Structure 1
Amino acid sequence: MLLDKYLPRIEFDSYEDFKENYRVNIPEDFNFGFDIIDEWAKQEPEKKALVWCDDHGEERTFTFTDISLLSNQAANYFLSLGIKKGTVVMMILRRRWEYWICAVALHKIGAILIPGSLQLTKKDLIYRGNSAKIHTMICINDDYVIEQVEQAQASVPTIVNKIVVNGERAGWRSFQDEVSGFSTEFARPTGEAGTKASDTMLVYFTSGTTGEPKMIQHNYTHPLGHIVTAKYWHQVQENKLHMSVSDSGWAKFGWGKIYGQWICGAVQFVYDMDKFIPTKLLQKIQDYKLTTFCAPPTMYRFMLQEDVASYDLSSVENFTTAGEPLNPEVFNRWKELTGKEIREGFGQTEGTVLIANFPWITPKPGSTGKPSPLYDITLQREEDGTPAADNEHGVLVMQNLKKAWPTGLFVGYYNNPEMTEEVLGGGSYCPHDVFERDTDGYYWFVGRNDDVIKCSGYRIGPFEVESALIEHPAVLECAITAAPDPIRGQVVKATVVLTKGYTPSPELTKELQNHVKHTTAPYKYPRIIEYVDELPKTLGGKIKRAQIRKEDEAAQK
């Protein structure tokens, strides 16, 4: 078991024991490709690593030996193209199995990997390409993706290689055709060519509330930070199938589909779906007898619109969720239908899981759980930085970074030392998320700082209003935002997607408003309700509240 090498203790008696005594050993030259993938292949050559399938009848199973040899081959191929330690490579591969091969190969070389979403436009790619000085693009054979990259290339002079996966394209190198001729032997680089734990491994572009996306920089210790994510939140089991639903362009992929899970020896189950269809996902969970499963709350909500009880989900021992707050109504209905709780977790692109419902914690519906032992987390009053009391709004702060840098936390902003100093130089990090902590030590998400609504002197968190609304049978999902108001400054607005059988009407609007008044404090009810067919979302399933706010502000002008 590889965990023994990195954790002085694996088993804990209680959450308090876990919080107080969890530690990670970090070798100076830790490299996920050599120390995890190759080591598993050496210890257990036939150990399963990845089970992959898609919507077109394709299925592939890979052992750690397969991943080791194929990544060696890819590493030799990439070296032949001028990719070396520090070279920046962007991959847009959705959930293709080649992602795992290429990512491990790039980690072995010491190249810097930037995952990218299928939704990136020409403009997005030009900005990313020039900001990070991207050298190579590795992309799925998708018309939209190929077109955007080709249109952007003329404006990004650093791009030397364009590699297409799963097919051929004029002007592109074919990964399948070209990689096969290279050796499956790849010696671990030493000296200046070798990687140190402190070298940059991964860069994520993440959107803030203002300005262009920022480049979040992780070093080679980042995978070790995800042991907590996989072992103690997802509760993966060695040699058992784990599924996290995420596209490879998002940090959630790193959270749930590669690093911590493979360190723990779990088998990645990957369903490369063309489109999310709830019944198909339920069928996969049943047919492959998954042991652990993680998906955004949105997916649980849509699965609950189907006949969940008709699927045999009994193999799943632990359901988890992140990406958006989990409404109590969804938690309760899922437990009623499956007998299992959904353990919510919270975190960011900048780190690993920050707060979660760990094994020793009995989940409270609607609560995110308790802090990870990796982080010294506190809540502070926004106005003066003093500690927030129990049941009081406070911004989340990770403190004492200079005393001990948390394993897995980002180390700065790539190519931007000024912003790194501004955000991290004081020895703490504030991601601007607002929470409340109850008297039992459970944390409750209120909203992003910019999502909190200030109406007539009240501060209203969107999540509590959304949770009240979603209890009504007419509401499939909703987003609560602040809408401009000439008298109150801001008022609460609900953008609502209705369940089947309901249609918008003034009577329904009044009914929903009254429902919120009776479910939560009356002043929190939505004065405006807009009905839509679907909410704007990222590929990862997060609701784009900022987009709704911007559209409302533009409509006022």
Structure 2
Amino acid sequence: MNALIIRFGMVKLRIINVNSLYLANYSQRLFCILKTQFRSSSDIKTSKPQNFTDYESIKQQYKPQVPEYFNFASDILDKWSEMEKVGNRCSNPAFWWLSEHGQEVKWSFQDLAIYSKKVANVLSDACDLQLKDRVLVILPRVPEWWLINIACIRTGTVLITGTTQLTATDILHRLQASKAKCIITDDNVADAVESVTSKCPSLKAKVTISHTQREGWMNFQDLFQNASEYHKCVNTKSLDPMAIFFTSGTTGAPKMALHTHCSYGMGLTVNGRYWLDLTPSDVMWNTSDTGWAKSAWSSFFSPWIQGACVFALRMQRFDAKITLEVLSKYPITTFCSPPTAYRMLVQNNVRSYRFKSLQHCVSAGEPMNPEVMETWKKHTGLDIYEGYGQTETVLVCATFKGMKIKPGSMGKPSPAYSVQIIDENCNAVPPGVEG
């Protein structure tokens, strides 16, 4: 029996029967075989009804099917771009980015298509990356991070993301374990990279996101400026490797979790459609760092599967006051942040802010304190819906929109999984019995 052991809160052991996944040769690597909702541009709905009526309807709607070939860039993003061209989508941008200093970027799906094709040519030509080559990207929340993600999918290169908090030792481990051929980062991390590259013979190309030249590095801005806008997306199979995420290293060193083109590009339909309840009229803000799989979940795949706007704010570190001001000023409809962030928010006089557009709040990463949930609801009128998953999975359990919230509960199983609490002999235990 394929099984995955997880821990959550006071529950010591849960075993998840992974019927729609298969375990592969990487430790903790799971391929989630799930259905895309979009087979053609005519399948994409632009109206704003709720995506489901109740929990039972979610289970009835969800019917996994996987085509032999799938590529998120051509099969999802480019379909939304085509719809924009004929005026069959709302006026929201596809991507909306703010800096701490007031800079603003708004891109449509058509913009994303053009710019990501230029970056795809940078990867293929200047960096000499071939199908299934691996590239390590260590960047903060800058627009280039999103373009590079899409470009890797277009070229079939395997993306590996890392947080900017990584040390030289952390970077060395990731480069050696993954055998990455290219690294893309900024000036803040470049020195740490330089200190370890002599120990990484597989690394052939170094690119920096910088307005200055750095010896031994290619300059991303220069390459982007000179790149062609024409690029033909590679024809990737659904089960071809797409991205590698390093786990947080709870036990031992961080391990590689490999996702295929379908496991996130299709699998995160569960998150976007059913947990986040997104439509093209929504603006989704997820505060997760770009180095973690949660950023792929809620700042990339889930919103864009649904045609929603991805909102991003570059902050050096989480700032509760700035976050509250942004929520009150911009038309953000769906907000996702970890419990620690919500705890900081409710300590900053939430009652003095008005969130005119906010409709749906979610959280993940750790159990939510009931007092924080109660205070948030008191001052905003909005519940916080918790979700649980892992680097190796999509959404495993969640409290879905409209469901009764039980403090301390991780909700009900996502339709992608069969979830049970079992005893030492792998037998399911009855309600109220610890497993």
Do they fold alike, i.e. is TM over 0.5?
A: yes
Q: Equivalent residue of 2:256, what SS?
A: strand
Deviation at 1:24, TM superposition (A): 3.5
| Alpha-carbon displacement from aligned partner over 1:128-157 (angstroms, at most 9, x marks no partner) | 111110111011232xx1121111111111
Check the 8 A contact 2:52/2:274 in 1, yes or no: no
> After the TM superposition, which of the residue ranges 46-55 and 213-222 deviates more from structure 2?
46-55
Tell me which of 129, 137, 140 is aligned to 2:175: 129
Partner of 2:266, secondary structure, is: helix
In structure 1, give the amino acid aligned to 2:55. Answer: Y
Paired residue for 2:433? 392
Specify whether residues 66 and 11 from structure 1 end up closer, same or farther in structure 2 by C-alpha distance, changes over 3 A only: closer
Partner SS for 1:283: helix
* AA at the equivalent of 1:5: R
Residue 415 of structure 1 corresponds to none
Task: Return the match for 1:28 from 68, 77, 80.
Answer: 68
Separation in structure 1 between the aligned mates of residue 216 and residue 354 of structure 2, nearest angstrom = 47
| Residue 330, structure 1, aligned to residue 372, structure 2 | yes
In 2, the alpha carbon distance for the partners of 1:264 and 1:76 equals: 27
SS in 2 for 1:5: coil
- Could you state the TM-score of these two structures normalised by the residue count of structure 2? 0.85
Map 1:103-502 to 2 at 5 A.
103-142=149-188, 145-168=189-212, 169-189=214-234, 194-221=235-262, 222-381=264-423, 383-394=424-435
Partner of 2:121: helix, strand, or coil?
helix
How many angstroms apart in 1 are the aligned matches of 2:337 and 2:51? Answer: 26
TM, length-normalised to structure 1: 0.67
- Out of 74, 85, 102, the residue aligned to residue 57 of structure 1 is 102
Matches within 5 A, 1:528-543: none
The equivalent of 2:39 in structure 1 is 5
Structure 1 residues 88 and 279: CA distance shift in structure 2, 3 A: same
CA distance in 2, matches of 1:124, 1:83: 23
Amino acid at match of 2:97: W
> Which amino acid in 1 is paired with 2:419?
I
Contact 1:314 1:338 in 2 (8 A): no
Q: For residue 314 of structure 1, give the secondary structure of its aligned residue in structure 2.
A: coil
Preserved CA contact (<8 Å) 1:5 1:25: no
**1:84 aligns to 2:130 (yes or no):** yes
Q: Distance in 1 between matches of 2:425 and 2:67?
A: 40
Q: Is the 8 A contact 1:205 1:216 kept in 2?
A: yes
Q: For residues 65 and 348 of structure 1, what CA distance do their matches in structure 2 show?
A: 32
Identity of aligned residues (%): 35
* Cα displacement string for residues 168-207 of structure 1 (whole angstroms, at most 9, x for unaligned residues): 3332211011121111111133xxxx31001000101113
Q: Which deviates the most, 21-30 or 287-296?
A: 21-30
1:96-107 matches, cutoff 5 A: 96-107=142-153
Matches of 1:292 and 1:211, distance apart in 2: 35
SS, match of residue 65 in structure 1: helix
By how many angstroms is 1:29 displaced? 1.2
CA-CA distance at 1:208 after TM superposition: 3.8
The 8 Å contact of residues 141 and 167 in structure 1, kept in 2 or not, is answered as no
AA in 1 matched with 2:421? L
Which amino acid letter does the alignment assign opposite residue 102 of structure 1?
I
Residues 462-486 of structure 1: CA deviation (Å, up to 9, x unaligned): xxxxxxxxxxxxxxxxxxxxxxxxx
**Helix, strand or coil: the match of 1:210?**
coil
Query: How far apart, CA to CA, are the structure 2 residues paired with 1:260 and 1:216?
Result: 19
Offset, 1:25 = 3.7
Q: Deviations over 1:343-391 (max 9, x none)?
A: 011111011111111124111222221110011111112x322212211
Q: Which amino acid counterpart does residue 199 of structure 2 have in structure 1? A: S
1:115 aligned counterpart, secondary structure: strand
Root-mean-square deviation (CA, aligned residues, Å) is 1.9
CA contact (8 A) 1:243 1:257 kept: yes
Unaligned runs of 5+ in 2: 1-35
Q: How many residues end up aligned between the 2 structures?
A: 386
Instruction: Indicate the SS of the match to 2:195.
Output: helix
Taking the aligned partners of 2:198 and 2:299, their CA distance within structure 1 comes to 34
